[in-house]
Amino acid sequence: MVNGILVGVDGSEAALTAVAYAASEAQRQDLPLHLLHVVAAGWLLHRAAPRSLGSLADEYQRGGRVALAEARRSARAILGNQPVATSMQTGDRVRCLVRAAREESLVVLGNERRGLLDRLVTGSVVNGVAAHSPAPVIVVPDTWTPTTVHDRVVVGVKDYDSCEGLIRHGLAVAAGRGARLHVLHACDYPPAYDPGVAAVVPIDLWLDEARAALSAALSGVAGEFPQVAADIGVEQGQPARRLLLASARADLLLLERRGHLLPIGHLGGTARALLRDAHCPVEVLPAVREVRSDDLVLEKDGGIEKAVLHVD
């Protein structure tokens, strides 16, 4: 079975934007497309009276079918007669999407810009999936359009001592798009440091060390992609802010998830900020140093799960 592209569909305009992006990627990479809608069982079980649970479930199932049908029409407008698979599951949205991602090569999600209070109340499916998915996750802002093209891919590097794999992936993505690659590392003194630290450890030394390490890493893999023009940027400043500025001139921003000894997944503050505010789609890659095993929490789900797959 050829792994394809999974798209989370929830009936929102942001999800339709993600479908359009994923369909374009499926066409460009010649990959199958899978649209998934998840009915949140936890909400039904905790909010509904027993006698009304069945009718609520039926209503949400109908809503899911409508959302999938609309998403399929949107995908077909780009893919033509290329088959599009749709499925619907009942359960926790993050867990269902992460589980489905095990069978796919890429996950695409839409990100609707919401107020802080709404994010605090509803939580974030985007952050949960990006933190746990075994496959790369691309989050598409609802402002994305296919007409704005910069022919530029940006790789945001945090750990410049072990970034060769991330840069290699960036080169491969840029090669597939016929784009340039910009490798960017930004750093600044932590706010808690006394200003006198600058006299002891000049920031220029940190920047020079990062520049040398990035140059070596890029040189080590650039020969595999001779068609890609690549350059390095090392900047002083708050990393999220610098990467946010770079995203305004990019078609895709690549980040690597923090590595952990336990398979629990984690997103740092910079990644969360960029998933929320970046001007271009953001791809989060699983850390190569993570322990690759099934998420133990997912195996303890215990919720109601139903899955029906349709291919037409």
Confidence band for 189, pLDDT divided at 50, 70 and 90: low
Please indicate whether residue 109 or residue 115 has the higher confidence score (pLDDT).
109
pLDDT for res 197: 55
pLDDT for 110 beyond 50 = yes
User: In order of start, what are the domains of the chain with their CATH numbers?
Assistant: 5-145+295-311 (3.40.50.620), 152-250 (3.40.50.620)
Q: Which residue has the tokens 């095993």?
A: 293
**110 C-beta neighbours (distance < 10 Å), count:** 25
Alpha carbon 94 to chain centroid distance?
Answer: 13
Residue 292's pLDDT is what? 41
Interstrand relation of 230-236 and 137-141 (parallel, antiparallel or unpaired): unpaired
Asked if residues 94 and 2 have their Cβ atoms less than 8 Å apart, the reply is no
pLDDT recorded at residue 124: 82
Angle between the 13-29 and 164-177 helix axes, to the nearest 10 degrees? 80
- For 110, the token pair is 């839409």
Q: Is the pLDDT reported for residue 10 higher than 80?
A: yes
Q: Average pLDDT for residues 108-135, to the nearest whole number?
A: 75
Given pLDDT bands bounded at 50, 70 and 90, which one contains residue 29?
very high
Q: Which residues contact 209 (CB under 8 A, 6 or more apart)?
A: 160
Comparing 10 with 50, the larger pLDDT belongs to 10
Distance (Å) of CA 75 to CA 14, 37, 139, 144, 216: 14, 15, 17, 16, 41
pLDDT at 87 over 80: yes
> Confidence class of residue 97 from pLDDT cuts 50, 70 and 90?
very high
When pLDDT is averaged across residues 23-52 and rounded to a whole number, the result is 78
Query: Taking all residues of the chain, what is their mean pLDDT, rounded to a whole number?
Result: 83
> What is the band of 114 on the pLDDT scale with cuts at 50, 70, 90?
low
Angle of the 13-29 helix axis to the 50-79 helix axis, nearest 10 = 40
Q: What is the mean pLDDT of residues 1-6?
A: 81
Cα angle 293, 294, 298 (rounded to 5 degrees) comes to: 155
β-pairing, 5-8 vs 33-40, is parallel
**Mean pLDDT value of segment 110-131:** 69
Question: What is the three-class DSSP state of 303?
Answer: coil
H-type alpha helices, the chain? 13-29, 41-47, 50-79, 93-101, 116-122, 125-132, 164-177, 197-200, 203-222, 239-247, 269-277, 296-299
Q: Does residue 293 carry a pLDDT above 50?
A: no
Contact 136, 284 (CB under 8 A): yes
Helix (H, G, I), strand (E, B) or coil at 283: strand
Kindly indicate the confidence band of residue 40, based on its pLDDT and cuts at 50, 70 and 90: confident
Higher pLDDT, 44 or 294: 44
Q: Concatenated DSSP letters for 13-41?
A: HHHHHHHHHHHHHHHHHT--EEEEEEEEH
For strands 252-256 and 230-236, give the pairing. unpaired
What are 214-244's pLDDT values in tens digits?
A: 999 999 999 999 999 999 999 999 999 999 9
The predicted structure's pLDDT at residue 186: 94
Sequence-distant (≥ 6) Cβ neighbours of residue 124 within 8 angstroms: none
pLDDT reading at 5 higher than 90: yes
